[in-house]
Amino acid sequence: MPAVVIANTGDVPEFEGRITFNVIVCVVIAACGGLMFGYDIGVSGGVTAMDDFLKKFFYEVWERKQLAHENNYCKYDNKKLQLFTSSLYIAALIASFIASKTCSKYGRKPTMQLASIFFIIGVALTTFAVNIEMLIIGRLHLGLGVGFANQAVPLFLSELAPAKIRGALNISFQLFITIGILIANVVNYAVGKIHPYGFRISLGIAGVPALMLCLGSLAIHETPTSLIERKKVEEGRAVLKKIRGVDNVDREYDSIVHACEVASQITQPYHKLMKRESRPPLVIAIVMQVFQQFTGINAIMFYAPVLFQTVGFGSDAALLSSVITGLVNVLSTFVSVVLVDRVGRRALLLEACVQMFITQCIIGGILMKDLKITGNLPSGDALVVVIMVCVFVAGFAWSWGPLGWLIPSETFPLETRTAGFSFAVSSNMLCTFVIAQAFLSMLCHMRSGIFFFFAAWIVVMGLFALFLLPETKGVPVDEMVDRVWKQHWFWKRFFNDEQAVEKRETEMIRPHLI
């Protein structure tokens, strides 16, 4: 039986219930999952820019950096260095498939506990790594943690939060990711001067949110949906009363029971997902993730310090610049929280495409004109690059960042929602892996062309959003099929099977009649 994802946004029915202390504690603890993920996105680029780290694990890269006639674009091009970043995402990809099963079978709470345990092991291995092998094995453990947490935490949040704050909470997961990235950037900047083990502090601090999640998840409740889904009906009702802080929870309880009944009839959600009528939300979920990654955001998030060193900043200035981009990322995510239900999803996505396209072209243009194979950019140019990176990150953070997750969570019908969402998570991990593994080599071979490469993707995703992405603002999740998909000029053809068959039959008969 698939796990049940309760509607995240839209006109969700109002049930009795206050935002109890219990709910707040649960939400804060679960948000640690977002911090765990974000911290790891931010930390790898920072330590990669630290000489002590390179000297210890990637000596050739450090040596190449020291050469007077170093090649600006290629000094970090090293497969193992990229594997350090990317290995996490390949493990997360595998874990996210397993996690959708453990979430259904054992619940969200043990899945989160498992995530934090993998994460703590990963932190210990990376912090005390004595060689590359230990470092990479540590990253793989972190990846398993991220994969389990990324499936369980959003599910946990959407099921536990009172209906009226569900939409905002969905985006707050993204907000915690960005805060995690920012904290990593700040820590990297602060410990960069501590020789020779500053990088170990950076890697070790990743254990804080994992430890909080681990301890916290011992204290939290399993979600009522998960309990009812696993036939612990009375316990489910009792937990619902406790977390809502009221005695009358009948309506919400009935709606959860109904949702679980519907879901239990679908014994093979993945099979159902492959059916023709599931194609529109499935394509949108996967494509949103592919496009999200091919904006080039993680080239910036992972490698900003390296990139800023490439354009001529010293190690310190490069780490400081990453703090600034990290801050822009957090603040701009708030813009999304405020605007997403007012101006709609499409307006934000389209505006951001224009903004991101222009900034990628300007960065590419400056590098093409002024950053030769050796030598630095003039300082004015380097400043413009940092500003453009900030404008780019702002555009991403109020659009494709949060909406890449929000849209797949609100467009599947209940029966395929969890299975469909796990496709979104794994597509994200796969594309993140590709970018992490390829970016530094692409930078070396394509030089400034890499920014035009991302700009070209942005044009494609803009056209996609313009013509193929329906607006879902304010549409109740359970009316998505009738009000959105069946009305859309392109996607409606996936729902008219009977009419289409009739039409085809008439067309086949007609020639004989003439």
Greatest pairwise CA separation for the chain in angstroms: 88
| Rounded distance between C-alpha atoms, residue 289 and residue 503, angstroms | 35
Pick the closer one to ligand BGC by CB: 203 or 301. Answer: 301
Question: Where do we find the tokens 């640690």?
Answer: 32
Pick the closer one to ligand BGC by CB: 278 or 432. Answer: 432
Count the neighbouring beta carbons within 10 Å of the beta carbon of residue 134. Answer: 14
Pick the closer one to ligand BGC by CB: 72 or 292. Answer: 292
**Of 170-178, 191-199, 255-263, 377-385: span binding ligand BGC (CB under 6 A):** 170-178
| Rounded distance between C-alpha atoms, residue 433 and residue 440, angstroms | 13
Site string for ligand BGC, 329-358 (x = CB under 6 A): x-----------------------------
Count the neighbouring beta carbons within 10 Å of the beta carbon of residue 298. Answer: 23
| Rounded distance between C-alpha atoms, residue 213 and residue 493, angstroms | 45
Q: Is 240 in the site for ligand BGC (CB under 6 A)?
A: no
| Rounded distance between C-alpha atoms, residue 13 and residue 478, angstroms | 11
| Rounded distance between C-alpha atoms, residue 95 and residue 287, angstroms | 21
Q: How far is the CB of 207 from ligand BGC (least distance, A)?
A: 20
Q: How far is the CB of 293 from ligand BGC (least distance, A)?
A: 6
Q: How far is the CB of 41 from ligand BGC (least distance, A)?
A: 5
Interacting positions 288-327 with ligand BGC (CB under 6 A): 292, 297-298, 301
Distance of CA 252 to the CA centre of its chain: 30
Distance of CA 470 to the CA centre of its chain: 21
Residues 6+ apart with CB under 8 A from 293: 428, 431, 432, 434, 435
Q: Which two tokens stand for residue 319?
A: 């780490």
Q: How many residues bind ligand BGC (CB under 6 A)?
A: 14
Q: How far is the CB of 402 from ligand BGC (least distance, A)?
A: 7
Q: Which two tokens stand for residue 8?
A: 């995240």
Pick the closer one to ligand BGC by CB: 62 or 334. Answer: 334
Q: Which two tokens stand for residue 165?
A: 């704050």
Question: Where do we find the tokens 């939409």?
Answer: 167
Q: 310: burial class by Cβ within 10 Å (0-12, 13-18, 19+)?
A: buried
The full DSSP string for 305-350 is HHHHHHTT--HHHHHHHHHHHHHHHHHHHHHHHHHTTTT-HHHHHH
Site string for ligand BGC, 125-164 (x = CB under 6 A): ----------------------------------------
Q: Is 78 in the site for ligand BGC (CB under 6 A)?
A: no
Query: From the list 86, 428, 437, 448, which residue makes contact with ligand BGC (rule: CB under 6 A)?
Result: 428
Site string for ligand BGC, 30-69 (x = CB under 6 A): -----------x----------------------------
Q: How far is the CB of 174 from ligand BGC (least distance, A)?
A: 6
Interacting positions 401-420 with ligand BGC (CB under 6 A): 401, 404
Q: How far is the CB of 433 from ligand BGC (least distance, A)?
A: 11
| Rounded distance between C-alpha atoms, residue 269 and residue 209, angstroms | 33
**Of 176-184, 188-196, 439-447, 505-513: span binding ligand BGC (CB under 6 A):** 176-184
Interacting positions 177-216 with ligand BGC (CB under 6 A): 177-178, 181
Residues that bind ligand BGC (CB under 6 A): 41, 174, 177-178, 181, 292, 297-298, 301, 329, 401, 404, 428, 432
